[in-house]
Structure 1
Amino acid sequence: MARSYTPKIVTANALIEGDVVYLTADDRWSRRHEEAELIEDEAHAQLRLLHAQAQKNLIVGAYLADAKAGPNGPEPVHFREAFRTRGPSNYAHGKQEAGHV
């Protein structure tokens, strides 16, 4: 029996700033989870991950994260990914300070 595939997004950290970033369908790195490309095909997800991992001058630690379709774009499925959308939690500036959580 074939297992069902859970949609994925490609996520990483920006090399210089360290911010969490997401690969978009038009090959940009966005800091907004809802702009990420929701990948519903396992083979395509692997190709997108390889594409991301080759961008060592822009990002580090690229990986595939489970996601689901939402009304405004992909939404995190797991707590860890939801937490990453809120930005760093060890200082009061950035996304949390500006109220973009």
Structure 2
Amino acid sequence: MKVLTANRLSDGIAVWYAEGGWAETVGHADLAHDKAAEDRLEAIGAAAGANNEVVDVNLIDVTVVNGLVEPVRLREKIRAAGPTIRTDLGKQASPAVAGVA
């Protein structure tokens, strides 16, 4: 399974493509379950990059754990949640993101 991620150009915040826009939490991201869905997300990301909405557009691997979308790689977990040594900072400090580790 994959999701589309990028950094919003206006403020640098990590975002994930969700339902026609960019969400600030990975849990809302549109999931690609097959190659056709991945291709669709890549095309959306390319267009958003070309329109200067986002930068560093990538498809990343995710898994669903206890109903929550979780990035596979550590780098992406940090982008999704925040610093690993200060859980009181970043997105992980928000109750809406408490399930992301």
Q: Does TM, normalized by the shorter one, top 0.5? A: yes
2:86 equivalent to 1:95? no
Aligned to 1:52: 45
Identity %: 28
How far apart, CA to CA, are the structure 1 residues paired with 2:82 and 2:53?
18
Aligned to 1:21: 15
Aligned to 1:65: 60
How far apart, CA to CA, are the structure 2 residues paired with 1:73 and 1:99?
16
TM-score by length of 2: 0.75
Greater Rg by CA: 1
Aligned-partner SS, 2:16: strand
* Superposed CA offset, 1:1-25 (max 9, x none): xxxxxx100000001100000001x
TM-score by length of 1: 0.75
Unpaired runs of 5+ residues, structure 1, are 1-6
More helix by share: 2
Aligned-partner SS, 2:40: helix
Unpaired runs of 5+ residues, structure 2, are none
Task: Give the superposition deviation at 1:83.
Answer: 0.9
Task: Give the superposition deviation at 1:88.
Answer: 6.8
Task: Give the superposition deviation at 1:44.
Answer: 1.5
* Superposed CA offset, 1:63-99 (max 9, x none): 100001233442111111101113478xxxx726x82
Q: How many pairs does the alignment contain? A: 90
The amino acid across from 1:21 in the alignment is V
